[in-house]
């Protein structure tokens, strides 16, 4: 017979799990970094259509780019373990950071030099960076399952998903508010400067044994 758990006890367990997750040095940085990367990913994808439109690209290019993006994400998902078996996970976070930083610079350049062919090709690179970010997300989830206890594993995964949703929503809200006052290119410059400070997380993770 399964013993019924009161709402008070269940709520207490959730808060304890969240607290323990935040304090867990094995996964706290990875989870926060994963949330930030997922939030930036949402920002990139949200800008695909506006960027192609402003560059004068035919509508067909938007469909092709989304198809390429999904293909890359599928390939990266299927080969996540193979890639991280060859590349140290702690070092892989640094690679993701560099690829996302370059993506920011590429998007800024596209806003200054409008050419739909160059824009389309550069956004394919952004799709590749997004694929690397997805791999990091998958491996982070595996890491959570490794370090979490059986009774708290689901809650810890929920905390990870909560961080991803929080960062995605927060970044898009900030973006929408910024473009009301400054240009899109300047908005991305602001995000790029802020993203540079995110370097702390992959650096700290890379030092984790």
| Calpha distance 76→78 (Å, rounded) | 6
Sorted by sequence, the CB contacts under 8 Å of residue 27 that are 6+ apart come out as 21, 140, 143, 144, 147, 156
What is the value of pTM for the model shown? 0.85
Asked if 112 and 185 count as a contact pair (C-beta separation under 8 A), the reply is yes
Among residues 116, 126, 111, the alpha carbon closest in space to that of 60 is found at 116
| Calpha distance 184→47 (Å, rounded) | 10
Among residues 97, 109, 112, 73, the alpha carbon closest in space to that of 196 is found at 97
DSSP state letter for 78: H
pLDDT digits (tens, 9 = 90+) for 144-197: 777 666 666 677 777 778 888 888 899 999 999 999 898 888 899 999 999 999
Reduced DSSP (H G I as helix, E B as strand, rest coil) percent helix, strand, coil of the chain, to 5? 85, 0, 15
Sorted by sequence, the CB contacts under 8 Å of residue 77 that are 6+ apart come out as 134, 135, 138
> Residue 142: what pLDDT?
79
Mean pLDDT of 88-99: 85
CA atoms within 13 A on the CB side of 87: 19
Instruction: Classify 104 as helix, strand or coil.
Output: helix
In this predicted structure, the answer to whether residue 4 has a pLDDT above a threshold of 60 is no
Mean pLDDT of 72-85: 82
Count of Cβ atoms closer than 10 Å to residue 127 Cβ? 21
Provide the percentage of residues in the chain whose pLDDT is more than 90.
Answer: 30
Asked if 170 and 39 count as a contact pair (C-beta separation under 8 A), the reply is yes
Asked if 129 and 141 count as a contact pair (C-beta separation under 8 A), the reply is no
Among residues 144, 129, 152, 198, the alpha carbon closest in space to that of 31 is found at 144
């Amino acid at each position: 017979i399964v013993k019924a758990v009161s709402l008070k006890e269940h709520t207490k367990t959730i808060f304890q799990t969240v607290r323990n997750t935040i304090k867990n040095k094995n996964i706290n940085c990875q989870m926060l970094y994963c949330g930030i990367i997922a939030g930036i990913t949402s920002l990139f994808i949200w800008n695909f259509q506006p960027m192609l439109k402003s560059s004068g690209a035919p509508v067909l290019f938007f469909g092709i780019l989304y198809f390429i993006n999904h293909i890359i994400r599928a390939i990266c998902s299927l080969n996540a373990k193979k890639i991280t078996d060859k590349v140290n996970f702690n070092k892989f976070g640094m690679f993701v950071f560099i690829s996302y930083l370059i993506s920011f610079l590429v998007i800024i350049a596209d806003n200054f030099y409008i050419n739909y062919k160059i824009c389309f090709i550069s956004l394919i690179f952004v799709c590749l960076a997004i694929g690397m970010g997805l791999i990091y997300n998958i491996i982070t989830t595996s890491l959570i399952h490794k370090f979490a206890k059986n009774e708290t594993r689901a809650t810890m995964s929920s905390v990870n998903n909560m961080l991803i949703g929080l960062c995605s929503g927060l970044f898009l809200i900030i973006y929408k508010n910024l473009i009301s006052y400054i240009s899109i290119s300047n908005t991305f410059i602001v995000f790029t400067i802020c993203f540079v400070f995110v370097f702390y997380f992959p650096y700290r993770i890379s030092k984790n044994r």
